[in-house]
Amino acid sequence: MTSFVTGPVRVTVPATSANLGPGYDSLGLALDLRDELEGEVVGDGLVVEVVGAGEGSVPLDESHLVVSAMRAAFGALGGQPPGLRLRCTNVVPHARGLGSSSAAIVGGLVLARALVAGGTLVLDDPTLFELAARMEGHPDNVSPALHGGFTISGHDDDGFWTVASPVDPRVAVVVFVPPDGVSTEVARGLLPSQVPHADAAADAARTALLVAALAGRPEHLLRATRDYLHQEQRRPAMPASLALVDALRADGVPAVVSGAGPTVLALVDGPAGGQRLLDRCPRGWAAHVLAVSTDGARVLD
């Protein structure tokens, strides 16, 4: 019989940026912009409260993505609680390519695990990662959301896999967030079913270079972030984002579309380098200078 802990549990989970240019569906980076979830097992019913991003628009019932993730974790842990109270304090913007759905999934799984006595003994991190990747459909965002830092992920006949890779401490990030979102489904729908062999080879080379550049050779980041497979194809859905990417790259700034967009992400030399880019933020957009988060989802004391 499942034993639940008494009292509230709080979890924090980072935003993430996937692809980073050429690493389509494989590279992911955790960012120091974090949602916070608080959950508690109660006598009966379900109460969901959302503050911040998604407030007033996301469902407050069993269809809420955090609740769905928690239910999946409780099922893997042996049983559902009699009742549940959930409060989500959201900072990660929705539908902007910053991993809000992965934050919800990973945060919900980690929160549910923490609400079960001895939960980590039954649902360890590799098992939780597999469950999160199955829920999301691809691992590139859920891996850094869970583990933090920079990860390389994929899927093969043996299931989902992920490997951590170092990030040079000089590297920081600027994100330029437009006021309107683009759904992942729309962005993926613009991609062709086949790509030229030469473009695939060029992206593979730059993905490998990007791993090395982030690890300690940041002078190669501009070349390493050049993409051939998905960004230009998505221009019709986010023309202002691609125009900003083009302008930044023309000035030597390694800029990419974050995930499925429309947020633009630039890799810079520390917070000071980020501050110098803030005046490039288009009118009506928001800009943030962020560190790479070395922590993934974690339970707060």
Binding residues for ATP: 93-103
Q: What is the dihedral of CA 28, 291, 295, 41, to 10 degrees?
A: -100
CB-CB contact of 5 with 114 (8 Å): yes
**8-state DSSP, 237:** G
Which residue, chain included where needed, has tokens 């980076």?
29
At 119, give phi and psi (nearest 5°).
Answer: -60, -35
* C-alpha–C-alpha distance, residues 48 and 64, integer Å: 8
Number of H helices, E strands in the chain: 10, 11
Q: Alpha carbon 34 to chain centroid distance?
A: 10
Residues flagged as binding site: 93-103
Q: Tell me which amino acid residue 245 is.
A: V
Which residue, chain included where needed, has tokens 């933090």?
148
Cα–Cα nearest to 112, from 231, 274, 4, 265: 4
* C-alpha–C-alpha distance, residues 117 and 124, integer Å: 13
Distances, alpha carbon 46 to alpha carbons 25, 41, 118, in Å:
34, 9, 23
Which residue, chain included where needed, has tokens 């959930």?
86
Cα–Cα nearest to 217, from 171, 249, 275, 153: 171
Which contiguous run of DSSP H or E holds residue 250?
helix 239-250
Collapse the DSSP code of 30 into the 3-class scheme (helix H, G, I; strand E, B; otherwise coil) and give the result. Answer: strand
Cα–Cα nearest to 147, from 168, 131, 159, 163: 163
